Structure 1
Amino acid sequence: MASKIGEIILDCADPEAAAAFWCAALEYRVTARDETGVAIAGPAGAPTLLLIVSTDPKAAKTPIHFDLWPTDRDQAEEVERLVGLGAQPVDIGQRDVHWVVLRAPSGHEFCVMPRQPA
């Protein structure tokens, strides 16, 4: 049997604020919290996000990121919704591509794709 991703860990200065953004963006919910951070989870089978306290400054582009696939609206509408939640458009040198790069309030970059894969 192969492994599966159980948790994805994101270092952030403010786990509560990061959890609020990602819960709203992904329709996740808080499942646990303590002094080290906040765990959020989505539907069964989706990996848990563990947002942990880190005071290390972010110095460069995030080396791993999420690609979000809108499920019930088009890409432009989803980008607008995520910007309304606090994300910001960012240019990381992506040039002319079919995805939109945003930065979450926690500083993590992510992409919004034009459609869900088949």
Structure 2
Amino acid sequence: MACRISELVLDCADPERLAAFWSEVLGYVELGREADGGIEIGPPGTGFGGPQPTLILSPGSDPRPGKLPLHIDVSATDRDQAAELERLLALGARPADVGQSGTENWHVLADPEGNEFCLLHTRIRPL
């Protein structure tokens, strides 16, 4: 039996703001709150242990925005990449420059706290 990713934890200055942002981006809902102010979000009707990992936005006293050792890649499920890019920018994402050549078929973005993530070109089926 192999392991699989059950949750991703992102230290952040404002868990409320990032939980709202990532919930809209991923179509997630709030699953619970931790005593330290952390907020867990995940797929509606499934939650922890489902086919997709949950995301925990954890308050950190020293968040390091920018290049994370791990970043999130997202793919649109119900629209093309251009329409999804427009939606993400309207939610508060902004373009990020990590030295792209301009010929990539993905977009590098930053969430409201500056954490980088990529919008991939390939559209995938929803679960």
Give the alignment's TM-score, normalised by structure 2.
Answer: 0.85
Instruction: State the AA in 2 paired with 1:24.
Output: E
Structure 2 gaps, min length 5: none
**Partners of 1:2 and 1:70 in 2: CA distance:** 28
Instruction: State the AA in 1 paired with 2:57.
Output: L
Q: Which residue number corresponds to residue 89 of structure 1? A: 95
Superposition deviation, residue 117 in structure 1: 5.5
CA RMSD of aligned residues (A): 1.6
Question: Hey, which bits of structure 1, 4+ residues long, moved more than 2 A?
Answer: none
Q: 1:99 aligns with which of 96, 106, 120?
A: 106
SS at match of 2:98: coil
SS at match of 1:45: coil
Structure 1 residues 13-92: aligned runs within 5 Å? 13-36=13-36, 37-42=38-43, 43=46, 44-58=50-64, 60-92=66-98
Given the superposition, is the C-alpha separation of residues 115 and 32 from structure 1 closer, same or farther in structure 2, using an over 3 Å criterion? same
Q: Percent identity?
A: 47
**Partners of 2:40 and 2:65 in 1: CA distance:** 24
**Partners of 1:116 and 1:74 in 2: CA distance:** 7
Matched pairs, number: 118
